[in-house]
Structure 1
């Protein structure tokens, strides 16, 4: 299992959600969801926690 690093963009919830990793914990990452174009339409919190087993890394860095 490849663990994401700070700055990686990941997808989760079967590809329905994407975010940028802000912090890596032992079993999870904290993700900022505001990079999604439809973020405001989804009425979600700005950040969420995702278990390492539940995401896929899309690219190495946003910047």
Structure 2
């Protein structure tokens, strides 16, 4: 789910992978070949969050 927050919409590179249950909110930049996996939440509600090239974000259980 991609959510705009306070006029900021996530910027996601076309080669990035976003899992169907991931949530990305606000001022977030996801660079090329990065991935955000199932259940991960990336919140750019209090400043910019950048996920660098080929980085992986996932939940830890």
TM over 0.5: no
Structure with greater strand share of residues: 2
TM-score range, shorter chain: under 0.3
- The structure showing larger relative contact order (alpha-carbon pairs under 8 Å, at least 6 residues apart) is 1
Whose helix proportion is higher, 1 or 2?
1
TM-score normalised to structure 2 length: 0.23
